[in-house]
Amino acid sequence: MKRSSRSFNAQPWQAYTPTFNGSPTTANVALFWMRLGDTLFIQGSFQVTVVNASDAAFTIPFGFSVDTTKVAGSRLHTYGKATRLNATSIADRVVGYNSSYATSLVISDRGQAGPVLGQVGWDTVVANNEYIILNAWVPINGWKATR
């Protein structure tokens, strides 16, 4: 068996604290990111203790931006799943890219016509004191799949 001379660029999981668009009150933030090739993976959870009507979006780790040349072919730029969790119910949401936020991902409960994910407020995505658990991935500007 011949081994490939190419190998993936990979980094271990690292904790990070995002900025939440519109400054909803959050607690228990436990988000992590890692690199695999040209893709940034994010997983973890956070609690939104006080919601507002600002677009539900959070930043990816500082210094990175979405590689829009790699998302342009998707009708809805959906790159993950978020789960709204409270004491009595679980509801799925989507995590994705919206061209209004070059360094953030949005959380939505719906798509819209056209090439971007529909933007909705924190008060649509989650209620006060509920948790969001998410797994997402997105291609990053300047990253290559292999070394």
Q: pLDDT tens-digit profile of 74-110?
A: 444 567 788 877 777 777 777 777 777 777 787 777 6
**pTM of the entire structure?**
0.80
Between strands 90-96 and 25-36, the pairing is unpaired
Which DSSP helix (H) or strand (E) runs through 125?
helix 122-125
Give the side-chain half-sphere CA count within 13 A for 61: 20
Q: What residue ranges of the chain have pLDDT lower than 70?
A: 1-8, 72-78, 110-118, 147
The answer to whether residues 124 and 56 touch, using CB atoms and an 8 Å cutoff, is yes
